[in-house]
Structure 1
Amino acid sequence: MLKARLLTALILAPLAISAVLALPTPWFALLLGVIVLGGVWELGNLSGVESVPVRLLLVMIFAAILWAMYAARGMGWADTFIQILGVAWLLNLVLLLSGRFSPEIRKGLNLPWLIMGLGALSGAWLALLKLHGVTDHGPQLMLFLMLLVWAADSSAYFSGRAFGRRKLAAHISPGKTVEGVLGALLGGAVMGGALVWLQWLPLSPVMLVLLCVSTTLISVGGDLWESYLKRERGIKDSGNILPGHGGVLDRIDAQLAAGPFFLAGLMLLGALR
Structure 2
Amino acid sequence: MKQRVITAVIALILFIPIIVIGGVALQILAAVLGGIGVYELFKMRGWDIKKIDGILAILGTVLLILPRSTWYDYLPEPVNSMSLYYFVVMLLLILPVFLQGKYSFEGVAFPVLVSLYVGMGFQNFVLAREVGLHVLMYALLVVWSTDIGAYMIGRKIGKRKLAPHISPNKTMEGSLGGILCALVVGFVYPIFWPLPYNMFAMLILTILFSIVGQLGDLVESSYKRFYGVKDSGNILPGHGGILDRFDSLLFVFPFMHLMGLF
Superposition TM-score tier, normalisation by shorter sequence: 0.7 to 0.9
Are the equivalent residues in 2 in contact too, given 1:47–1:110 (CA < 8 A)?
Answer: no
Alignment partner, residue 129 of structure 2: 132
Larger Rg: 2
Paired with 1:212 and 1:144, the residues of 2 have a C-alpha distance of 10
Paired with 1:47 and 1:250, the residues of 2 have a C-alpha distance of 16
Greater RCO, CA 8 A, separation 6+: 1
Q: Secondary structure at the match of 2:236?
A: coil
Number of aligned residue pairs: give it.
233
Identify which of 1, 12, 25 aligns with 1:27.
25
Paired with 1:11 and 1:179, the residues of 2 have a C-alpha distance of 31
Are the equivalent residues in 1 in contact too, given 2:65–2:119 (CA < 8 A)?
Answer: no
Identity, % of aligned positions? 32
Paired with 2:52 and 2:165, the residues of 1 have a C-alpha distance of 31
Letter in 2 for 1:116: L
Paired with 1:217 and 1:177, the residues of 2 have a C-alpha distance of 13
Paired with 1:111 and 1:224, the residues of 2 have a C-alpha distance of 24
Alignment partner, residue 86 of structure 2: none
Alignment partner, residue 6 of structure 1: 5
Q: How does 1:1-273 map to 2 (within 5 A)?
A: 2-21=1-20, 23-50=21-48, 52-54=50-52, 57-58=55-56, 60-62=58-60, 65-66=63-64, 70=68, 71=71, 112-134=109-131, 138-265=132-259, 267=260
Per the TM alignment, residue 171 of structure 1 is displaced from its structure 2 partner at its CA by: 1.0
Letter in 2 for 1:32: A
Are the equivalent residues in 2 in contact too, given 1:48–1:110 (CA < 8 A)?
Answer: no
Are the equivalent residues in 1 in contact too, given 2:148–2:178 (CA < 8 A)?
Answer: yes
Are the equivalent residues in 1 in contact too, given 2:31–2:66 (CA < 8 A)?
Answer: no
**Aligned-pair RMSD on alpha carbons?**
2.7
Change (3 A) 1:114 1:53: closer
Change (3 A) 1:248 1:234: same
| Structure 1 gaps, min length 5 | 80-108
The TM-score with structure 1 as length reference comes to 0.77
The TM-score with structure 2 as length reference comes to 0.80
